[in-house]
């Protein structure tokens, strides 16, 4: 175990932009039985609210993560009424000698790379998650909005290194001033649900692995063509954050499905915070 912990590197880094609500953390458990990486992406603003990221930042992760029910405890801590109108994602990976344990709420994706190729990706609680959309469509207390003022609600996705495209999006209205653009979150007084997702991925001996947990400040600026760069053991957490920041600030071709416009840039107030946490073996 000692040699394992010496050769495996965990890193975490946040570059705050406009909202300044990302959080990243990493380290080794107090019992030296696993390493961990994690990120959270806060959202919402409300006077006197208790922000979930504030709760998360006070946690003693090395000891707290040794509890088997740690994620349920986090959800409980973040479901008090003082978190109404504000929330956060949370994505954590615990790395053992024989397995990877991913647990998450929201849409801060965790990915596992093996020998440079992505072999696992969290099924985030977002508009693309069929089970989550079914759950909310059957809840009479939730409105799923696809239009605003008669127009489609849209978002942007990176098509390749030079082009972004317009895609259809959704807003999930949980009422009591709790509206978010994905399906499940910490906070919001607990109105989005109390569940979380966990997947265990076996770890093989003598293989090269890399784990990346990151907020959409990274994933919103990447596409499938970027897996070689991201999955490389030579690419550090700092390299990844710089890469994402450059993408946010570059000029793009904008594809709206009909025409392509050259020379588009994200305004400063739309540039997202970037939170990244990595483990490399």
The CA-CA-CA angle for residues 66, 68, 70, to 5°, reads 80
Stretch 224-238: mean pLDDT: 96
The three-state secondary structure class of 53 is helix
Stretch 171-189: mean pLDDT: 95
Structure tokens at 278: 């990595």
Which ranges of the chain would DSSP assign to H, the alpha helix?
Answer: 2-7, 52-57, 61-64, 70-77, 130-137, 216-219, 227-231, 237-249
Beta-bridged to residue 12, according to DSSP, are: 277
With cut-offs at 50, 70 and 90, classify the pLDDT of residue 88.
very high
Stretch 82-94: mean pLDDT: 97
Q: Write down the mean pLDDT value for the chain.
A: 94
Is pLDDT of 231 > 60? yes
**For the chain, what percent of residues have pLDDT higher than 70?**
98
pLDDT score at 6: 43
Stretch 222-246: mean pLDDT: 97
Structure tokens at 134: 């079914």
pLDDT score at 73: 98
Is pLDDT of 2 > 50? no
Distances (CA, A) of 10 to 105, 123, 147, 174, 244: 22, 23, 42, 37, 19
Contact between residue 85 and residue 46 where contact means Cβ atoms under 8 Å apart: yes
Distances (CA, A) of 270 to 19, 82, 217: 9, 27, 11
With cut-offs at 50, 70 and 90, classify the pLDDT of residue 176.
confident
Dihedral pair phi/psi, residue 230, rounded to 5°: -65, -35
pLDDT score at 5: 45
With cut-offs at 50, 70 and 90, classify the pLDDT of residue 173.
very high
* Distance between CA atoms of residues 277 and 85, nearest Å: 27
pLDDT digits over 65-75, tens only?
999 999 999 99
Sketch out the chain's domains with CATH numbers. 2-141+178-249+269-280 (3.60.40.10)
Is pLDDT of 42 > 80? yes
With cut-offs at 50, 70 and 90, classify the pLDDT of residue 150.
confident
With cut-offs at 50, 70 and 90, classify the pLDDT of residue 149.
confident
* Distance between CA atoms of residues 11 and 278, nearest Å: 5
Stretch 155-178: mean pLDDT: 95
Q: How many residues does the chain have?
A: 281
Is pLDDT of 128 > 70? yes
Stretch 78-82: mean pLDDT: 97
With cut-offs at 50, 70 and 90, classify the pLDDT of residue 279.
very high
* Distance between CA atoms of residues 143 and 47, nearest Å: 25
Contact between residue 170 and residue 136 where contact means Cβ atoms under 8 Å apart: no
pLDDT digits over 31-40, tens only?
999 999 999 9
On the CB side of 115, CA atoms within 13 Å amount to 5
Contact between residue 111 and residue 121 where contact means Cβ atoms under 8 Å apart: yes
pLDDT score at 19: 83
Query: Nearest to residue 15, comparing CAs of 232, 234, 252, 239?
Result: 239
């Amino acid at each position: 175990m000692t040699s394992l912990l010496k050769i495996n590197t965990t890193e975490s880094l946040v570059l705050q932009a406009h909202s300044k609500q990302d959080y990243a953390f990493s380290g080794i458990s107090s019992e030296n039985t696993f390493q961990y990486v994690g990120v959270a992406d806060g959202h919402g603003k409300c006077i006197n609210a208790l922000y979930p990221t504030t709760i998360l930042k006070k946690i003693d992760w090395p000891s707290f993560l040794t509890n088997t029910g740690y994620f349920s405890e986090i959800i409980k801590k973040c479901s008090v009424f003082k978190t109404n109108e504000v929330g956060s994602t949370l994505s954590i990976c615990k790395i053992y000698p024989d397995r990877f344990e991913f647990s998450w709420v929201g849409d801060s994706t965790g990915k596992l790379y093996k020998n440079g190729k992505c072999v696992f990706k969290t099924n985030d609680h977002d508009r693309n998650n069929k089970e989550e959309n079914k759950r909310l469509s059957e809840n009479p207390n939730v409105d799923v909005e696809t239009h605003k003022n008669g127009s489609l609600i849209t978002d942007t996705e990176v098509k390749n290194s030079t082009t972004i495209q317009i895609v259809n999006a959704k807003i999930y209205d949980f009422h009591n001033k709790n509206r978010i653009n994905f399906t499940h979150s910490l906070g919001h007084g607990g109105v989005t649900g109390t569940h979380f997702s966990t997947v265990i991925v076996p770890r093989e001996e003598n293989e090269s692995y890399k784990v990346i947990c990151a907020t959409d400040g990274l994933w919103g600026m990447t596409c499938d063509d970027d897996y070689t760069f991201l999955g490389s053991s030579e690419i550090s957490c700092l390299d990844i954050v710089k890469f994402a920041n450059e993408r946010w600030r570059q000029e793009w071709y904008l594809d709206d499905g009909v025409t392509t416009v050259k020379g588009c840039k994200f305004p400063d107030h739309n540039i997202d915070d970037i939170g990244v946490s990595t483990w490399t073996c």
